[in-house]
Amino acid sequence: MDDLIEQSYTMKNWAEEDKPREKLLLKGKHTLSDAELIAILLRTGSQGLNVMDLSKRLLHLADNDLNELGRWNANDYLRHKTLKGMGQTKAITLVAALELGRRRQGAAFKQRAQIKSSRDAYAILQPMMADLTEEQFRMLLLNQANKVIANEIISLGGRAATVADVRVIFRQAILANAVGVIVAHNHPSGQLKPSQSDIDLTRKLKQAGDIMEIKLLDHIIVAEQGFYSFADEGML
């Protein structure tokens, strides 16, 4: 009985091609399941669970949704009592790996980012903002050719709201020699309808942009499954 437990825990008796690390080397990264990729990050299992069992249990808690897993912080991993052996090192490794994946999505647009529509802007902003659990206010600064020359966070807020300073936004735009600005914030609730404060802020930004001769091109509300564009809705 003890021998069986040891075999399950260490996976030493698994065929080489079935071990996640070896499978990646032999067959390539695309052949691995999500559970196997997570198992490589976890490295080891815990008492009573081999690393694959731990990985599958982790995915089950996130409804087998990597986007949901990407929203977790280290404490979210540690608080689950069913994840025995999920220590701080494992939790931090997973958070870091998933964050790199999120940033990679955004980086894909960095070198070729020319904004021709609100959907182009959303394609850049969505990987950075859609799965955040708190509100973030961000801006894209554009040159004469509508290419992104800066992508900056303006402020961070709570679950309900964030605050954007009009002066800060246009100061950054002037320093970057931008001719156009797209501002964006996320709604963690997933609700895309703008609030009255969103509308008021947009009006102030447009007025300031007109005075500074730096055009406010759009204000986008970002959610995981879609976006709201003030420009598309004729509110600029």
Taking 70 as the threshold, does the pLDDT of residue 4 lie above it?
no
The residues facing 226 across adjacent strands are 223
Q: Of the ranges 128-137, 155-164, 224-233, which is most confident?
A: 224-233
Q: What six digits make up the tokens of 30?
A: 């695309």
Domains of the chain: 2-105 (no CATH), 112-229 (3.40.140.10)
Q: What six digits make up the tokens of 192?
A: 């895309």
Helix (H, G, I), strand (E, B) or coil at 140: strand
pLDDT tens column, 73-97:
888 888 887 787 788 899 899 989 8
> In the chain, what percentage of residues exceed pLDDT 90?
38
- Helix then strand then coil, % of the chain, to nearest 5: 50, 15, 35
Residue 137: phi and psi, rounded to 5, are -115, 125
d(CA 179, CA 111): 19
pLDDT tens column, 125-142:
988 888 788 889 999 999
